[in-house]
Amino acid sequence: SHASAAANHMRGVQRTPPAAHAHKISVPCRRSRSSCSRFVVRTRAETSATSPGEQMSGTPPDLAPHIAPSVVNRLRPPSVWGKEWKGDDERAPGQMPGPPAYPMKQWGAHRVLLQGFNWESCKHAEKSKDGKTWYKVMELCAGTMSRVGVTDVWFPPSSQSVAPQGYLPGMLYDLKTPYGNEDELKGTIDTLHKHGIACIADIVINHRCASFQDENGIWNQFEGGTPDEKLDWGSWAIVKGDAKFAGSALRSDTGEDYDAAPDIDHRNETVQKDLSEWMRWLRDEVGFDGWRWDYAKGFAPWVIGALNAQTNPVFSVIEYWSAMGYGDGGLNADQDHHRQELCNYVDASVYTATEHLQYDGDNTVQSTGAFDFTTKGILQDAVGKDEFWRLKDKDGNPPGLLGWWPESAITFLDNHDTGSTQGHWPFPGEFAGAGYAYILTHPGYPCLFWDHVFDWGEELKTSIELMVRARIRNRVGGRCEEVVIHRADHECYLATIKGRAESDAGD
């Protein structure tokens, strides 16, 4: 079957490890919210540590230790940059790269994401004394982001929305939101680019809210937000079977239903062309570099493959949040079925053409990664309940997506849904330090949460910064050469992670 074939593919990725740098971590049972005691870094090549205020050797002030892939050639870089591992091909300034191989060709590349907002960020302007918008807050924090080692920042949804947080979008070309206006958005993106940080847009296209009612009083007439007819749709753009919004499309939904707003027919020619044009505009005119796909289980993976083929993002990640397996004793030890769902979706997201969108490139390369919800669920039980045995699967590997397909796994502790003021599935806060010790030292691409970096105090932020620097020094990226789990029981977790062996010039 397709599922079993995908599973064999995930498990079968092997590397022959040469001599490598290594570091060891030991996570004890109990610690304060921000501490990570007995976190030890040992490398064969170096023993010195970089203090929180120091810049990495050769790195200009206020720039990240390593620049986000493709940003240096993508927009207007400063005259001096830090070292870039990935070695992108030379391109003229402003020229978009071709479709990147994803997972990354160079499996040691460094990338650390930051979710640049929480659930309450949209209310900042009305609550702050100076009326500063959230985009301005992000812009002012650019220097801190780069010093922490962030390479990519995930922005909140940037289009007009019925809900202030942005997840019920309507006029997609209208960029005036509670987070700020279009000029402020572009200014923040420019500032982050100058700090060597890529900007990831939150793409919400499973559903869309209408601007007008039809003759029967049903909200299913869409306005794009421009003087012309771009993204001006009718009920024909709503999937067959969406009776609440009188969908008149000839085709049914390709994913799960979404009750709060009309489900969009992604097979429709006009829908495909309008969305691809809008996303190219976000890339070329607004300045975004990549995409975070909201509610991906609401539509088929070929939709992402087709739109990524049209827009060539430097980074792409899906939100595919499904239920984990629970029994009478709580979370089941074996969560292979859960990470298999993520594998299957990513495996089917290859760059592709459609009947209406042309693409003549490689259609065997996956175009996106996925937030590793499997690792999050297992990790928060492991550190919160002294059940570190959960961090080793039956094959002796990490138990989440990062254990099967690490270069497609974006690991995280919390986001605006699971944590923040919503708290639908929060990581135990007193163990945040231990959680970051795990995801920042293991393969995959870690994503930091805004609250943890900027709102939970200097101690946790400094710990995160030191761990990111340890990750860089030991060259642990999307894939590392080896993860050896020495101990995983009720008392502690101890593992050796071997990073890339090759040294960069001057490193």
Q: How far apart are CA 317 and CA 202, in angstroms?
A: 10
Q: Which of 112, 52, 154, 144 is nearest to 439 (CA)?
A: 112
Q: Which of 299, 309, 495, 325 is nearest to 402 (CA)?
A: 495
- Indicate the SS3 state at residue 235: helix
Neighbours of 324 (CB within 10 A): 18
- Indicate the SS3 state at residue 307: helix
Q: How far apart are CA 212 and CA 267, in angstroms?
A: 23
Q: Which of 497, 378, 488, 420 is nearest to 27 (CA)?
A: 488
Q: Which amino acid is it at 59?
A: T
DSSP state of 68: P
CB 76 within 8 A of CB 480: no
Q: Which amino acid is it at 132?
A: K
Residue 12 contacts by C-beta under 8 Å, 6 or more apart in sequence? none
Q: How far apart are CA 490 and CA 471, in angstroms?
A: 26
Active site amino acids: 294, 319
Q: How far apart are CA 439 and CA 468, in angstroms?
A: 10
Q: Which of 454, 463, 432 is nearest to 134 (CA)?
A: 454
